C-alpha cells in the first residue's frame, strides 16, 4: 500500500508540474508584458495619417520611455531598404538597460525629400510626435533619425528648431543628400538659423557612396562654429556604401545619443 501511495504522488507531480509551470510562465509574461508594434492614427494638417510604434515589453509598467522617430521615405536613387524600422529597434536592443519607443509612418511613403519641401516633412513628424507624447509617453525627449535625403530633414530640424518650439533633442543623420548638405553648409556659413537652443546632440555619418568633400565641409563648418548648445560626433564609413551602412550607423548613433559608447 505504501509503495502504491508513493507512486500515486509521483504520478500526480509529473502529471501536473508541466501545466503548473506553463501557467506560472504565462502569469510572469503577463506581468512583464510583451513587446509589440501598434498602428495608430494621428492628424497631419487635418488629414488622418497612420503611424506605427514599437512598444517594448517594459512599456506596460513604464510610461516614461523616450521616443525615437524614424523618417523613412522611398529611395529615389538607390535600392529600397525595407528594414530601417527593424534596424532602429535592433540598435536600441543592443544598448544595455535601454528601452525606448520606436515610431515611424505605417508604410514607407513615396516622397522625395528636398530642402524646398522641408517644412512639409518636418510638420508631418512634429504632428506625429505631438500625438505620441500625448498618448504613449510622459517623456518629452525625442530622437530624430534618418538616412539619405531624410537625413537632411533631420539635420535641418536641428538647426531650425528653437528652444521654445523644440520637438527633438537628439539627431542621427546618415548619408544626407548633396542637395541637403549644400543647403546646410550655406545656412551655417550665413548663420541663417535661430541660435536660442540648448542641449542638442548630433551623430553625423556618411559612406563611400556620398560626396566626401561636401560631407567633410559640412563637418568642418559645424566644428568651426563650436556651438555651445551642441554635442557633436561624426564618422566616415570607408568600408561600406549607402545601401549597407545604416544598420551600423543607426546603432552607433543611438549608442552616442544614449551615452553608452
| Structure-block grid coordinates of residue 256 | 552616442
Q: Rounded mean pLDDT of the chain?
A: 87
pLDDT at 9 > cutoff 60: no
d(CA 219, CA 92): 26
Q: What is the pLDDT of residue 88?
A: 97
CA 6 to chain centroid: 59
The proportion of the chain whose per-residue pLDDT surpasses 70, expressed as a percent, equals 84
What predicted TM-score, i.e. pTM, was given to this entire model? Answer: 0.85
Cβ neighbours for 168, distance < 8 A, ≥ 6 positions apart: 69, 129, 142, 143, 144, 157, 158, 161
What is the fold, at CATH topology level, of the domain defined by 34-257? Answer: Rossmann fold (3.40.50)
Q: What is the pLDDT of residue 217?
A: 97
Number of residues written out for the chain: 261
Q: What is the mean pLDDT of residues 199-207?
A: 96
Q: What is the mean pLDDT of residues 224-232?
A: 95
CB distance 142 to 69 below 8 Å? yes
The pLDDT tens digits of the residues spanning 11-24 come to 444 444 544 554 54
pLDDT at 77 > cutoff 90: no
Over 77-122, what HEC string results?
CCCCCCCHHHHHHHHHHCCCCCCCEEEEECCCECCCCCHHHHHHHH
pLDDT at 106 > cutoff 80: yes
Amino acid at each position: 500500500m505504501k509503495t502504491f501511495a508513493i507512486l500515486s504522488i509521483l504520478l500526480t507531480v509529473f502529471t501536473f508540474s508541466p501545466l503548473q509551470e506553463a501557467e506560472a510562465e504565462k502569469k510572469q509574461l503577463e506581468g512583464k508584458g510583451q513587446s509589440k508594434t501598434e498602428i495608430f492614427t494621428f492628424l497631419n494638417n487635418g488629414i488622418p495619417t497612420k503611424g506605427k510604434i514599437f512598444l517594448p515589453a517594459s512599456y506596460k509598467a513604464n510610461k516614461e520611455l523616450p521616443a525615437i522617430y524614424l523618417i523613412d521615405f522611398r529611395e529615389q536613387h538607390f535600392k529600397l531598404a525595407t528594414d530601417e524600422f527593424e534596424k532602429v529597434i535592433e540598435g536600441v536592443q543592443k544598448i544595455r538597460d535601454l528601452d525606448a519607443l520606436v515610431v515611424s509612418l505605417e508604410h514607407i511613403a513615396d516622397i522625395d525629400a528636398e530642402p524646398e519641401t522641408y517644412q512639409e516633412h518636418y510638420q508631418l513628424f512634429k504632428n506625429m510626435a505631438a500625438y505620441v507624447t500625448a498618448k504613449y509617453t510622459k517623456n518629452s525627449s525625442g530622437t530624430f533619425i534618418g538616412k539619405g535625403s531624410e537625413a537632411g530633414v533631420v539635420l535641418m530640424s536641428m538647426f531650425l528648431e528653437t528652444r521654445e518650439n523644440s520637438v527633438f533633442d537628439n539627431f542621427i543623420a546618415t548619408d544626407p543628400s548633396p542637395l541637403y548638405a549644400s543647403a546646410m553648409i550655406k545656412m551655417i556659413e550665413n548663420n541663417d538659423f535661430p541660435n536660442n537652443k540648448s542641449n542638442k546632440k548630433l551623430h553625423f555619418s556618411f559612406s563611400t557612396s556620398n560626396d566626401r568633400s561636401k560631407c567633410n565641409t559640412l563637418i568642418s563648418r559645424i566644428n568651426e562654429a563650436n556651438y555651445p548648445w551642441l554635442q557633436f560626433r561624426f564618422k566616415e564609413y570607408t568600408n561600406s556604401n549607402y545601401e549597407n551602412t545604416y544598420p551600423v550607423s543607426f546603432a552607433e548613433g543611438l549608442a552616442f545619443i544614449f551615452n553608452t559608447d
